A and B are shown apart, each in its own frame.
Chain A
């Protein structure tokens, strides 16, 4: 069974919002209709987005870190939003695990958004239906695109490559290897929704040098940086 998902590397994300704008551009131009913008050029601009980037500051000054946190539908393997839907408009595709909304069946009761613990579904104020990330289902299978372009718009847009896309059920896929080897985790595991999307944690890059590593085998008598001591006996290398 295939389960397509995104893996987002928080260590790489720079918070540029390119994924947000490209997601909006692709999904507002598609056959499913535009994603509403209310007051786009006035005070309090707001609208429908499938993907948002939030920013958090972790720690206390001066030991703080800025964490940019992209947030979109996690395409849960046990989605809380699907069984509550009274019309069957919300469904999870068997063939690839994508959670979708049939906009022609949705009555706009918003019940699914209540059941989702992550708040990743957005009610479209003009189309009056529930909308959400589709993993760009209308481009990832598009045979008219070159194969390397058959990816969600957010993944293609990400300048530092913080977003990976693939099948998390295939142990050899790029996303599965990343989750396995780079500490991939899911959001709110206590909600028991088994999110398919994973996040890769922040990593500190630090070089740790132990004292014994400073005592080099090819220079056994001296600690690096110490002045030459002529009273020390010659080494084997010097005698030969």
Chain B
């Protein structure tokens, strides 16, 4: 698949935002004396900033962004539609949580619980957009939602540690410890997905694609001279070498650099982890081999 920059930004930005919100909620729940309303309200603003940026990025993926409201209609069948509902709902909860702390209106834990549930729902909706596509075997697996939840939570927790470094220093160590746990867990599950996908054998072959049982079939013409939507949307367009290089890059940046730096330089740890997640998301798309590519042998 072709990794679209808009979708890479959307999924990584809102993932970090959701993770940060979960981190803020647990700060308030577990260390009520160390958290100030200013810290939590400022954190909620950061959550809204990240999710808002992700939302804006998502519009660049659409051919007709002015019709985006229509995407909320088919929530009964489409995970994309569910995400379109869950993202603003989560942002509304984060806004209410921040306002409740800032104004001292109370009921913050209740709003926080709703927000955390919406954050988890949003993680699942985002991940299921990919995991629900049965023909993309690399994505159609429970590890996909698990990875979205853990990677988003880990980056949000690292960001929370960095934010606490400025706004609530006494929480930094605890948040950094939580970030280490989540990053390590994410390393395990993302690694499991890498191993699984490396061993996958495609369900479809050129033989089943055109229905001719012969071991040697060579494509001579693709039906278009200058390429088509099929050759643009479903191929990453980079060399195999480039794709192979991305894996160690995202493993180091997403997992090992933050694990090493989160206690000493949490902001740098977050920036490295965010960059790593962008590479991780790029690879997530690039490694998915769409069966339609069988009809475009000259390209693959």
A-side interface residues toward B, CB under 8 Å?
20, 38-39, 43-46, 48-49, 52-60, 66-67, 69, 71, 80, 83-89, 105-111, 113-119, 121-123, 125, 127-129, 185-192, 199, 201-202
Contacts and interface: CB of A to CB of B under 8 A. Distances in A.
11 contacts: A39-B226, A48-B229, A52-B223, A53-B221, A56-B210, A57-B217, A71-B295, A85-B74, A88-B73, A113-B229, A192-B134
B204 interface: yes
Nearest to B82: A86
Nearest to A66: B220
B71 A52 contact: no
Interface of B: 1, 61-65, 67-68, 70-74, 77-81, 84, 129, 132-136, 203-204, 208-212, 214, 216-230, 233-234, 290-293, 295-296
Question: By CB atoms of chain A within 10 A, which of B68, B221, B227 has the most?
Answer: B221
Nearest to A39: B226
A-side binding surface: helix, strand, loop or mixed?
loop
A107 B224 contact: no
A56 B133 contact: no
A99 B77 CA distance: 17
Contact of A59 (B81, B214, B219, B234): B214
Contact of B228 (A84, A116, A122, A188): A122
Contacts of A123: 63, 229, 233
A45 B64 CA distance: 25
A188 B223 contact: no
A188 B222 contact: no
B77 A46 contact: no
A86 to B, nearest CB: 4
B64 A107 contact: yes
Given A107-B64, A111-B129, A128-B64, A80 B135 contact: yes
Contacts, number: 178
B84 to A, nearest CB: 6
Contacts of B208: 187-190
Nearest to A108: B63
B73 A87 contact: yes
A22 to B, nearest CB: 15
B218 A88 contact: no
A135 B205 CA distance: 27
Nearest to A126: B63
Nearest to A121: B229
A67 B212 contact: yes
Contact of B211 (A20, A52, A66, A187): A187
B72 to A, nearest CB: 8
A192 B291 CA distance: 13
Contacts of A115: 133, 135
A87 B70 contact: yes
B126 to A, nearest CB: 13
B204 A188 contact: yes
Nearest to B65: A107
B209 A187 contact: yes
A119 B64 contact: no
B216 A54 contact: no
Contact of A84 (B78, B204, B226): B78
Contacts of B218: 56-57
